[in-house]
Structure 1
């Protein structure tokens, strides 16, 4: 595996958590790059955190998984290479338009999974804008991954995978091996948008199912009382489109 100069870069394309423990797990897995996209966190803060945990052995790239639509009908889209902040809770059309304006790499995480994803019709509508579609996710059951791979094939979209780690132990459980040298955020965006040849790599056997069970259990927790706390007890989120930080730019496309 590899391009003519034999360079391969291992990238976990989406983690939700970042700590010394996550970095240690990533390095143990032999990763070169982590893409960090936490929920409800503005881009400048994500950039600061990514820079703080990057070193000569591991590059942490900032990204945003934008929640488009309402909470009950939210559709997640992962954007890498944003130059300006994009809030949650705007229409899918508005988010895609903004990603295109910024020349960001547009990725579809966990397609057609539960109630937090792009549907088959969404993927068909925005196939020209989408740069890659996740064909393996540790939260998925086998039929979810088969369906995702079929969608990627049908719409001729490049694949990617990630650990989608919400838990420290999950980091590095799945990654994309790009046949390209990736030393910066711009390099990664280029590998995603061009796109560079790649291989999907993930855990298998008992270890894979332990990861799936742990992450699904956490998903249940995250979507029960924690959701209520987020929306009704904590006040306006920093990524809400009406937040003062966005200076009214997204008022006309806000869904709240």
Structure 2
């Protein structure tokens, strides 16, 4: 339900792990680019669905949402209310990834406040430690929202470590959006054992890079993000809701 990497090796691993669908939501990548890459790696054995993990708020006050089924691009660095309103306008499926993780996602109070916009909450994330996944489970239980699980793979080796098993067939993006929005029956599954825990620990360590040198590289060396609301691609539509 959520991977950040996509290439031949990722596809090979996904198929070897018995996956039918990957939701591909790379950081700071505009929807048309993610859609084109997803199409490139989709075949008769594996469907790749493009999505956006939208970074709402500023770097100091981030609230991430995972959105499947967008038809028009939505930038990062806009208010959460503006992002949710735009997702509603497009009738997309809004999910809460890694609730309560550090300062990068919605907490329980946020989910309760915005639950009318939300169709699912992550119950298990392969990147997270057991106590973090337990906290996510409490958000699911206390809100009674449908759950999902994902590898949240930023590294190829994590693909297939956690997944969501739907009881209905998912043959295209529309099927997945419908399953999410109608709370279709599903099970949250994950591997276990030492290798699973080690892969998760390596993934979590990668989070440290992302929030240190990776952030410096993006902010100071790379110029404007392609998903910044001031980017020409958004034609000024989000200037009133931009936080930068």
Q: TM-score, normalised by structure 1?
A: 0.94
Partner of 1:44: 32
Whole-angstrom distance in 1 between the partners of 2:70 and 2:214: 28
Q: Find the partner of 2:94 among 77, 99, 106.
A: 106
Partner of 1:127: 115
What are structure 2's unaligned runs of at least 5 residues? none
Asked if 1:155 is matched to 2:148, the reply is no
2:195 aligned residue (186, 203, 207): 207
Q: CA deviation at 1:57?
A: 0.1
Q: 1:253 aligns with which of 225, 241, 244?
A: 241
1:1-256 equivalences in 2 (<5 Å): 13-256=1-244
Given that residues 63 and 80 in structure 2 are in contact (C-alpha distance below 8 angstroms), is that contact kept between their aligned partners in structure 1? Answer: yes
Query: Which consecutive unaligned segments of at least 5 residues does structure 1 have?
Result: 1-12
SS in 1 for 2:121: strand
Q: Deviations over 1:133-183 (max 9, x none)?
A: 001001211121111111111111000001000000111110000000110
* Structure 1 runs (4+) greater than 6 angstroms displaced: none
